[in-house]
Amino acid sequence: MNVFWVNLFLSITIAVPALLIVIRWRSISSVYYPFAFFLWTGTLNELLSIIIVLNGYHNTVTANCYVLIAYTLLLFQFFYWTNWKRRTLVIMIAVGILVWISDNLLWHALKDNNSFFRMYYSIACAVLAIQVMSRQVMEVRTGLHRNAVFMICLAFTISYVYKAYYESFNLFHIEINANFYKIIWSMLSMVNVVAYSIYTYAILCIQKKSRFIMPF
pLDDT tens digits, 30-55? 999 999 999 999 999 999 999 998 89
Whether the pLDDT of residue 214 is over 60: the answer is: no
- What's the confidence (pLDDT) of residue 212? 46
pTM for this one?
A: 0.92
Higher-confidence residue of 123 and 182: namely 123
- What's the confidence (pLDDT) of residue 180? 85
In this structure, the chain runs to a length of: 216
- What's the confidence (pLDDT) of residue 211? 56
- What's the confidence (pLDDT) of residue 1? 52
Q: CA of 79: how far to CAs of 35, 72, 101, 118, 216, in Å?
A: 11, 11, 23, 20, 36
Domain residue ranges in the chain: 3-205
- What's the confidence (pLDDT) of residue 8? 75
| Nearest to 116, CA basis, from 167, 54, 180, 50 | 167
pLDDT digits (tens, 9 = 90+) for 137-191: 998 877 899 999 999 999 999 999 999 999 998 887 777 787 888 889 889 999 9
